[in-house]
Structure 1
Amino acid sequence: MEKPKIHPYIPILIGVISISLSAIFVKLAEADAGVIAFYRMLFSILIMSPLFFYKFKGEIKILTKRDWIFSSIAGIFLAFHFILWFESLNYTSVASSTVLVTLQPLFAFIGTYLFFKEKLSLKTIVSGIIAISGSVLISWGDFRVSGNALYGDMLALIACGLITGYLLFGQDVRKRISLITYTMVVYSISTICLFFYVLIKGESFGPYPSMTWVWFLLLAIIPNLLGHTLFNWAVKWVSTNVISVAVLFEPIGAAILAYFIFLEDLMTTQIVGGLIVIAGIILFVLDIKILKKFFKKSA
């Protein structure tokens, strides 16, 4: 496999910053969850279409039956991830929802072990536990044991499992086809799935206030084309585990933005939890050998 022109961690970092805006745009949009998800995906493929048809459409011919099956599953998983996560934001806080939806390592560590036989090192397990503990602490004061918030929390947790499945199936297909072709195929399947979901649910495709259309477009450009597409690029060279752990940064950015935009309180537990998340990610990303050399030189 050829080496990437830039280190995969750089696009992953940009992707994490981009997706941190997702929950904010969703809460600002005045529409049902399925509709928001549909327009997010539709605008994404419309923006990508000129490049795809100009340069990459011929690559569709090399897709195998296995590629189509895996891409279809990934697209359906992505569609319902958005539906459930966006719906969860109607019942629980931005902090709680983003924390639960980014607990992907719990699913990714198991998934990559079962499907790709990737060994879980002690460093991976320890750093994952640290980062997940920090994520839970971020919204500790906001978790509730009953009512609407619990329902929202459950929706976010299921959405978390779905996005991990989407990445796992993508990890297999992306090793054989280009980023643009894979993204176009998966996003198109996801859009079709969402279209029928909105139709069956009887939700309205419009009209909406002008600012809601702006939020739809921004969801497509920033979290999708800058966020998820960059993850799709990176997953060719790194494990799903790397992306899943890095995504734990999202609740930090989302919680801070929610504090200023929606006046959602940012508690001490959320601040401390954010620092723990960062510590877990640093432990996961840095090479233990490099750390040992550093401490030896310091001594």
Structure 2
Amino acid sequence: MAPESRPPVSPFLVLFFGIFAVSTSAVFVRLAQMEAAPLVVAAYRLVFASLILLPFTWQKRAEIRQLKKDQITWLLLSGAFLAVHFAVWITSLAYTSVASSVVLVTTTPLWVGLLSPIFLKERLSPRIWGGLLVALLGGVLVSLAEVCSWTVNGLACSGLEGFFQGRSFLGNVLALAGAWLAAGYMLVGRKVRATLSLVSYISMVYGFAAVLLVGMALLSGEALGGFHGLTYVWLLCLAAIPQLLGHTSYNFALGYLPAVFVSIAVLAEPIGATLLAIPVLGEWPGFLEVVGGGIILMGISLATWNGQKGKGRSE
């Protein structure tokens, strides 16, 4: 099939929907991790997503059979980036604080922005660079909210002294590696999505990522089953909503929008997660989270004004 010059649905609208869907991830992960280990949760997320996709994958079997070797190579690479991103970032949380980990992993748009002109030949305007930096600043404030508070004497932070020491340093390196891998996933996705349908792309990528994560979970020695029924419900919701609806929306947008723009928009996820945590978990945002969320939205708006549509597949 020839590529479509115009998408059937606005990629900006789809991207907005994807941000909301992925924002549910933290809630479902929190509920599933009451019984399941982090790597096991990640593995179930991709396995269930791949199983749900099977009927749609079967409909695209003719296109999948016609994939060229270079396409398959890019698809496998994208799946590997996705799987290892989940693995190293989740593992980082066992060594460093949530704040340090999130600060580092949310640098993904910066690496996408630096590498897009090299690998994708997508030049970024000063406005997009400005929006990126503003959004990253907001992300840092949201992440620091866990260890910092605003007092009468100004900003007071604790728990940051171990950032470059011992186990914390290892965790920080893993979180930064998670950002690099997420950037690779975005860049490869942008490159290969323009050559085949969305269903074929996500079926191959999610399937390969699922195989890798199951292998990692087995090697970790963690229990892969024996959970209560409700845990499996949370795992299924994790696969259906943030993975299938959320990440698939991102992959749709990558077929039409610059990779760096999509990665900047993803920075809005903490805002959605914070809002959802209020009714579900009873967690209210603090001052820094509110200010940081506002700055993120400002950065995204700044970048959006100069967003450029790309061309890709519509299915």
Q: Return the match for 2:161 from 145, 148, 153.
A: 145
Partner of 1:2: 5
User: Which amino acid letter does the alignment assign opposite residue 162 of structure 2?
Assistant: S
Q: Is the 8 A contact 2:127 2:306 kept in 1?
A: no
Q: Contact 1:109 / 1:241 at 8 angstroms: preserved in 2?
A: yes
TM-score (normalised: structure 2): 0.84
Measured after TM superposition, the shift of residue 259 of structure 1 is: 5.4
Partner of 1:224: 243
In the TM superposition, what are the counterparts of 1:25-104 in structure 2 within 5 Å? 25-29=28-32, 30-53=35-58, 55-89=59-93, 97-98=101-102, 100-104=104-108
Which of 293, 296, 314 matches 1:277? 296
CA RMSD of superposed structures (Å): 2.3
- The 2-side partners of 1:256 and 1:146 are apart by 30
Deviation of residue 260 (structure 1)? 5.4
The one-letter code matched in structure 2 to 1:102 is T
**Secondary structure at 2:211 match in 1:** helix
> How far is the alpha carbon of 1:258 from its aligned partner?
4.1
Q: Any residues of structure 2 matched to 1:213-252 within 5 Å, and which?
A: 213-252=232-271
SS in 2 for 1:81: helix
Q: Which moves more between the two structures, 278-287 or 92-101?
A: 92-101
Contact 2:120–2:191, Cα closer than 8 Å, also in 1: no
CA contact (8 A) 1:103 1:160 kept: yes
> Cα distance 1:251–1:241, how it changes in 2: closer, same or farther (>3 A)?
same
Could you list the runs of 5+ residues in structure 2 that have no partner in the other structure? 148-159, 308-315
Deviations 1:236-269 (A, max 9, x none): 1111111101001011122344455556563211
What SS is found at the alignment partner of 2:36? coil
Q: Which of residues 190, 197, 205 is equivalent to 1:171?
A: 190
1:211 maps to what in 2?
Answer: 230
Aligned 8 A contact 2:19 2:272 in 1: no
Asked whether the 8 Å contact 2:88–2:175 carries over to 1, the reply is yes
- Higher share of residues assigned helix: 1
The secondary structure found in structure 2 opposite 1:139 is: helix
Contact 1:93 1:142 in 2 (8 A): no
TM-score by length of 1: 0.88
Greater displacement, 279-288 / 71-80: 279-288
Match of residue 153 from structure 2: none
Preserved contact between residue 72 and residue 189 of structure 1 (Cα < 8 Å): yes
| Aligned amino acid, residue 120 of structure 2 | F
Worse-superposed segment, 26-35 or 272-281:
26-35
Q: Does 1:18 align with 2:21?
A: yes
Identity of aligned residues (%): 39
CA distance in 1, matches of 2:178, 2:251: 18
